[in-house]
């Protein structure tokens, strides 16, 4: 059972989907059940927190990549596309204004 808890705690996606406080609670519970001394428990908690941050960061990056791919497939304009179009419209509007004033 303890191996299962440890493996589930240290699994990237499972870890990233849990809240930070939930990870801390599971790590503390694991440390108590496995009868770790205070130093080992602290090291284990630190390791869990670090793996949580890494897994969360990795999951965030993967989600961004997936969303970008979906947007490309949907052929929706990006923020930079819209900004470029707005700048082009502003430039053309300015040119038209200059031509009218001549």
Whether 96 shows a pLDDT value over 90: the answer reads: yes
- Does the pLDDT of residue 45 top 70, yes or no? yes
In this prediction the pTM is: 0.43
Least confident of 11-20, 30-39, 83-92: 11-20
Confidence band of 12 (pLDDT split at 50, 70, 90): low
pLDDT score recorded for residue 68: 80
Q: Read off the DSSP letter of residue 87.
A: H
Between CA 29 and CA 34 the distance in angstroms is 9
Nearest to 52 by CA among 18, 2, 6, 25: 18
pLDDT at residue number 77: 83
CA-atom Rg of the chain in angstroms = 26
């Amino acid at each position: 059972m303890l191996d299962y808890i440890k493996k589930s705690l240290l699994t990237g996606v499972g870890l990233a989907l849990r809240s930070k406080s939930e990870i801390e609670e599971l790590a503390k519970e694991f440390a108590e059940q496995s009868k770790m001394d205070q130093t080992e428990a602290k090291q284990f908690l630190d390791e869990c927190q670090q793996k949580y941050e890494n897994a969360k960061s990795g999951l965030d990056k993967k989600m961004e990549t997936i969303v970008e791919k979906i947007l490309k497939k949907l052929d929706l304009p990006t923020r930079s596309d819209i900004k470029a179009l707005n700048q082009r419209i502003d430039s053309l509007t300015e040119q038209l204004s200059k031509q009218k004033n001549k």
